[in-house]
Amino acid sequence: MTKRNKNRLLAGVLTLVMVFSLCQVSLGQTAQVKAATTLQNPTMNGVVATWDCIYFGNYYQNSTTFKVPIKWRVLSVEGDDAFLLADKNLDVQPYNEEYAAVTWETCTLRKWLNGTFLDTAFTAEEQAAIKDTTVVNDDNPTYNTEGGPDTTDKVYLLSIAEASNPAYGFYHLFQLESSDTRVVKNTLLVADKVKTDTGSEPTNWWLRSPGTISQCAADIHHNGDGCGFGEAVSFELRVRPVLHLNLSETSLWQYAGKVSSNGDVDEPTPTVVPTSTPTAVPTAIPTAIPTAAPPATATPAATAAPSLSTGDTTPGVSDNDSNISKNSDNNLLSKVVLKAPKNKKGKKIVASWSAVKGAKGYQVQYAASRNFKKKSSVSTKKTTYTIKKLKKNKVYYIRVRAYDTNGAEKAYGAWSKIKKVKVKK
């Protein structure tokens, strides 16, 4: 062997040694990062709660064009199971599309969370990592409104008991007890959807527990106080999902630091892991979670709920509620009776309806499809509205609902029956 060939062989051996050394450094540092980010249960320092956070899944939060990672608060950790609550309100939905007596089992929001939201926010591999959870649906602790049968869900909402469980980082009192531990912010997209004419931004979010009657569901107000009285199920409030994640699928989630109820945010410092160039360190792809794993169980807080005021109240209406609409007789707003729309010359449609007692105004929605995809919405204080600049020979669908105002927020009654009309002139 010539001296030149010996030098080449020696150089090759040294290169291989360097590659293997870098691989060991990378794997060692990765193990250190995982060890340093072992998730913890919430901690309390006086009235300030602090939660570990992770990123998991992606959803439309800043625009309808691009998804960004969803940040979750860790409510509890037990082995490889993490109980997660969305760090922000992720969407705006009614608890049920129609004003009717429903339970968590039968409401349309449960179907939306485990259908549209699940498929939009998570890949098939991520969905496999979300555990099927046995969700306990207790009756309302004050008004004894039936909670319905237990359900099995991948994605759901907190209950009254869970939203007042100190083990999850929440203030233990619920009914009309404000607490920063339950205060939440909207995503930019949700903020744009709910911003009022005065510029305020409601943040009230749904719970799954029933309200004072089966036509209402409990919620959390903007200042973190609990409303066991509830909102009419047809109202559109913010949605803050929860789920149980199998943490053993480490390639699917990422540590996101800590957040505290006083507003402090501690973002993790990125760790630079050296890799060889051009040789890449191989990455192992974990297999999916076996579907035979037993379901987790959402267990309510063991602490009994405090007694709540049962003074003179009207079912469906909260005495201290910025989202409940009621007329002068203290009843929920009536359903609008929409008359047959008329096509007028100039590609216009005139919609009119009967006045609703106690309403401050009306929201009119119209679209070229019955499911109101790509709908347009306008508000008016009159009982008639002319829709202009429509397309000829096209059928339009129209619906109207009344609204009341309480402070800066609007609260809506049920939608009218849908009417359709074809633009012929």
Q: What is the pLDDT of residues 28-68, one digit of tens each?
A: 334 333 434 689 999 999 999 999 999 999 999 998 889 99
Is there a single domain that holds both residue 223 and residue 365?
no
399 — pLDDT class (breaks 50, 70, 90): very high
pLDDT for residue 26 is more than 90: no
More confident call, 358 vs 169: 169
pLDDT for residue 358 is more than 90: no
Is there a single domain that holds both residue 241 and residue 352?
no
Average pLDDT over residues 260-281: 60
Is 144 contained in some domain?
yes
> Looking at the 3D structure of the chain, how many domains does it have?
2
Among 270, 269, 268, which Cα is nearest to 257's?
Answer: 268
Q: Classify 314 as helix, strand or coil.
A: coil
- pLDDT of the residue at 111: 98
Q: 129-165: buried (b, 16+ CB within 10 Å) or exposed (e) per residue?
A: bbbebebbbbebbbbebebbeebebbbbbbbbbbbbb
Cα dist. 177→85, 205, 231 in Å? 20, 15, 17
Q: Report residue 278: phi and psi, to 5°.
A: -90, 5
Q: 29-60: buried (b, 16+ CB within 10 Å) or exposed (e) per residue?
A: eeeeeeeebebebbeeeeeebbbbbbbbbbbb
Is 263 contained in some domain?
no
Is there a single domain that holds both residue 241 and residue 357?
no
| Percentage of the chain modeled with pLDDT above 90 | 62
Is 311 contained in some domain?
no
Is 268 contained in some domain?
no
Is 5 contained in some domain?
no
Is 255 contained in some domain?
no
Is there a single domain that holds both residue 200 and residue 86?
yes
Please state the pTM of the whole predicted model: 0.60
Is 282 contained in some domain?
no
302 — pLDDT class (breaks 50, 70, 90): very low
Is there a single domain that holds both residue 234 and residue 95?
yes
Domain boundary, last residue among 298, 332, 362: 298
- pLDDT of the residue at 414: 81
Which stretch of 5-9, 245-249, 287-291, 386-390 has the lowest confidence by average pLDDT? 287-291
**If phi over 0 gives left and psi between -120 and 50 gives alpha, with beta otherwise, what is residue 162?**
alpha
Average pLDDT over residues 360-388: 90
What is the tens place of the pLDDT at every residue in 212-245? 999 999 999 999 999 999 999 999 999 999 999 9
On whether the CB atoms of residues 229 and 313 are closer than 8 A, the answer is yes
Supply the range of the domain harboring residue 146. 43-245+292-298
Identify the residue whose tokens are 């499911």: 371
